[in-house]
Structure 1
Amino acid sequence: MRSEALRPRMVWNIAWRDLLSTLRDRRTLTSTILLPLLVLPLLTLGMPLLMGSLMGGQVRETQKVGVIGTLPPELHRTLTRSEGGGSGVRLQPVQDPIQAVRSGEVEAVIRVPRPLPTQAGNAQGTLELYAKLGNLKSQTGAYAKVRSAVESYNRSLTGKRLTALGLSESVLTPVQVKSVDASPPQEKSAGVLAFLVPMLMLNFLLSGAMATALDSTAGEKERGTLESLLVSPVRRGEVVAGKLLATTLTALVTGVFSLLGFLGTGLVAAALTKRAVVDAQAMQMMGGQFTLTLGSLAAMAVIVLSVALLISAVLIALSIYARSYKEAQTYVSPLSLLIVIPAVMLQFSDFLKAGDWLYATPLFGSMVAILDVVKGQITPQHTLAAVLANLLGAAVLGWLAWKSFGREEVIFRN
């Protein structure tokens, strides 16, 4: 097959033809525009709001706690006291601590095998606390309140003992640790959910590109329109370039709207935190206060463009082998795993030695680079490595697609 120069106008005509076919499907428009705008804010803002609401509700709620044995009066008062907008617990006797917790009769059970000391000294007592330790509701509710009350009781006894000896409580802590967060402001505001941003953005790019890629290759083969296109006065390379352009543009539209959702999330999160609508500590822990400088925004745009081109080339190269649209879906469905599995590994990115070789890995290097953008740690060298790796991969896959379009046993497989 002779290599001929591509005619830009012909490439654009083919791309526009495929884009019009994509625009007629309203479901595609929903996945391309609405989902990227809504999913990222709902996840990164909804999680802190939900966590703040649930944790705050546990603090205000009065939980039932079972008791076996006798509690010192002061500890009893500390457990049942309500203060600072929070509520204490309601104590009730139970017989079997494990059964009472498992049945839901109470959220926790306090068992006192032997009388507890009422003053600090040589005596030491043990209080057994039964709860579902793997249950988040229990940990933030009754379990946390009981532990806090016991710690307060211990401090009270220790303080009284030291006062009787003419000492201050500070003698117990001659050295204090003051933690100072040295993370960049952007990394602090990104929170623990920052690793989800690369996964979401790449999944949006994949879903946006998939509809156009599958419809313009396997879909056209199934409808019998691809043959008529190939017998028209258009070169095979122009067909491949046009379909690759249409698929990339669709993916980029999804990328733009996901980026808008990304930036909008940061503005909304900052406004909610400033007005105390959402708990600032929960927001900082979970994330959502995303901000981008002009440099990091440019890096994000270039990386997303290269990823869109790579994903489009993968989809075109795979789906051209399918006999039907449904068969093409089975070919490309595992691609989401190539995004999800590495994205889950990004939770442990702090343990990775992020050398240039890691950024030079197609697709995964882009995920690491996007995470660096979110945390404000991206460098021009790493951006360049990620982009070049994607472009190289797209060039190889584009060449394979071009070779496939020249083989009749592939084009006429159906």
Structure 2
Amino acid sequence: MSGDENISGELTERLVRSPCPEAPPVLQRLAGEAGVCFNGKAPWDIQVHDPQVYERILGQGSLGLGEAYMDGLWDAREPDELFNRLLRADIEARLPLRLRLQLLAVTLRQRLFNLQSRGRAFQVGEQHYDTGNDVFSVMLDPTMSYSCGYWRHAGDLAQAQHDKLDLICRKLELRPGEHLLDIGCGWGGLARHAARYFNVEVTGITVSREQQAWAQERCRGLPVRIELMDYRDLQGRYDKLVSVGMFEHVGPRNYAEYFDTALRLLKDEGLFLLHSIGIYATSRTVDPWLDRYIFPNGKLPSAQEIADILDNRFIIEDWHNFGPDYDRTLMAWWENFDTAWPQLEARYSKRFYRMWKYYLLSCAGFFRSCQGQLWQLVLSKRGRDGIYRSLR
């Protein structure tokens, strides 16, 4: 029996003992527009275990919804499909004024302060990426890739991540003896792959001490150097640049400096591959629950924002979207995490379990709804010799 079944069983018993009143009309209306019911029979319906849920949603919007889930006040058999339906119906645009004000508060914080400054650069590493290598090691594939897999020819997560790493290296046209800079190297999966199979030297940087330590161990004996540092402090010149799943932490106030740094670091004949989550339309809002509990200070870019900042900086040689693959990747991570929970529960609370479940499955719904995109851009400097041939 999974940890989820144990926890859900306890909550179902509470529900039987104490049935909850109906949801307020405004919440019934909003949910109904997405084809969702409170205490309905569909697997994506919200099963309320405590009427506090309604107060939290009305008082704190999506933050209250997420915290109420962490506290065990509601459930759904398929939270991923619940969020797919809510996002496809664009519920956020239909929120009453008092709920929109909750989003406005986070938005103003993003606009008034540089939340991705040098002084804040390591916060996401300390809060999220340093959560525990035991959690990530059971959830991820053997390469420890914490980004979208490439499922075009893959039947499982391990193959999808291997194919993604190989695709990146081939898109970069890596040649033996070149020096690759990996900005946001994670646990060293791409650095290890590039050094082993493409015979290149790799310098990787991360803002997570746990990632640095593990990446150094995994890359032992290879021409790979892993540094704990902010991208703005990088020096030198490199044949190729890559950044996988890091741009989401840069923030609009820093986009110009980020790409100017890349221009400074990249040799004139080099290539830069940017792998990033994107959002289908420019938005100034940030989900307050994700900002507080998972990725502090993060902000997803839109295609327009990226295109605008690249103007007169880089040539866009290729722009590849395989966003639906992230839904499948997240569902695979969830299955791995849930299966391995008995190995972890002595060290982590039930609230952590529910937080992690909410994170993975709400994000799966985000990509399934097509609000979330996954882009790989190949960039070059103007004047680079030769013609770039796109790969898929």
Q: Quickly name the TM-score band, shorter chain normalised.
A: under 0.3
TM-score using structure 2 length: 0.21
Q: Greater share of strand residues, 1 or 2?
A: 2
TM-score using structure 1 length: 0.21
Instruction: Decide which structure has the larger Cα Rg and report it.
Output: 1
Q: Greater share of helix residues, 1 or 2?
A: 1
